Amino acid sequence: MPVISVPYAFNEEELYVDLESIFGHSLFLKCEGFNFAGSIKLKAATEMVETAERDGVLTPDSILVESSSGNLGVALSMIAASKGYRFLCVTDSRCNLSTRLMMEALGSQVHIVAGQEANGGFLGARIDYIRALCASDDRYVWLSQYTNPGNWRAHYRKTAPEIAHQFPGLDVLFVGAGTTGTLMGCARYFRKWHRPVRIVALDSVGSVAFGGAPGRRMIPGLGMSIRPPLLDESYVDEVIRVEEADTIRTCHSLARHGFLFGGSTGTVVSGAMGWLAEHDARELTAVAIAPDLGDRYLDTIYQANWLQDLYGDEVLNSDEVSAGSWAASPAPRTRSGGRP
């Protein structure tokens, strides 16, 4: 049995759920929510903090500061508490209440930006606040998950090799795109692998990460209001954009079968199932990454009043919340660079 002395030393690496019995297509969902931070962000947080320590950027007097919609903030809160650092998470109103309370319970300070920058949305406002803070006091250390190579390196070193070990015959990998750390780390690893793997990125409608018009996005996790600095589209074979209503329906379909996952997972699974439905996937080995679980979304995507206020009464139509609901309205798809 594992015995640990620090909370970031444990992460479940080998748990997968085969979704064929729910959606009719075999898709192995890598569950990354079983660690003390509750999400895949633990890997990037650990890599970035430990690199900053080795480089002498972090000292005992440092105050960590980071912009996060939730999960990275929790991971950094946990690591900061374990290592004795102070941590300030800069977020916005879309951050789930339970996530904010969790960061505060771990001893972190949470600042919620009040407005949006004209060109950068909430993210622009968060980054502007952090830059002003760092300029005012040199004790603040901003890891900058949006530009830090440790973000993608964590998944190059850990997530992708874990998948390769379990699925040596992997054909297609579905990865959600936020900062694109997970996407870029996995894509770089499998570009050098012994067999070609198709890399499919899942993004939210309204995100400008891969181009397109900006739009309202209320579910934190995936999507960006700016082009991700870490993104190199030459590593991506295809991009699928998913409507938030389809994300919600997929989450509820999974929950009806006993699997409570977060919004990012709903987006990834919705897009992946649409892709598999349009391809001859019977002989394909397909894997998708589930970044977190659904307990932090109980007051949002699993709360009826929140859903009705934002998406209307029909978002959870009983005919749509059923196995295979994605087939009636597949997610929009666009090809983006990569191999043909």
DSSP string, 161-210: HHHHHH-TT--EEEEE-SSSHHHHHHHHHHHTSSS--EEEEEEETT--BT
| The pLDDT of residue 339 | 42
| The pLDDT of residue 234 | 97
| The pLDDT of residue 116 | 58
Residue 5 has pLDDT above 70, yes or no: yes
| The pLDDT of residue 318 | 46
Residue with tokens 């049995």: 1
Report the mean per-residue pLDDT for the chain: 90
* Count of other CB atoms within 10 angstroms of residue 197: 25
Give the pLDDT band (50/70/90) at residue 282.
confident
Q: What percent of the chain has pLDDT over 70?
A: 91
Residue 188 has pLDDT above 80, yes or no: yes
| The pLDDT of residue 322 | 36
State mean pLDDT over 281-302. 94
Going by C-beta distance under 8 Å and a sequence separation of 6 or more, which residues neighbour residue 283? none
| The pLDDT of residue 331 | 36
Strands (E) in the chain, as ranges, are 16-18, 28-31, 63-67, 86-91, 109-112, 140-142, 172-176, 198-204, 238-242, 286-290, 333-334
| The pLDDT of residue 120 | 53
Residue 87 has pLDDT above 90, yes or no: yes
| The pLDDT of residue 92 | 87
Residue with tokens 């999400």: 39
Give the pLDDT band (50/70/90) at residue 1.
confident
pLDDT in tens, 162-177: 999 999 999 999 999 9
| The pLDDT of residue 115 | 65
| The pLDDT of residue 51 | 98
Give the whole-angstrom CA distance, residue 200 versus residue 181. Answer: 14
State mean pLDDT over 62-83. 96
For residues 280 and 100, the model is more confident at 100
Residue 328 has pLDDT above 60, yes or no: no
Q: Can you say how many angstroms the Cα of residue 159 is from the centroid of all Cα atoms in its chain? A: 13
Residue 201 has pLDDT above 80, yes or no: yes
pLDDT in tens, 23-47: 999 999 999 999 999 999 999 999 9
Is residue 130 within 8 A of residue 67, CB to CB? The reply is yes
pLDDT in tens, 93-131: 888 888 999 999 999 999 999 865 544 578 888 999 999
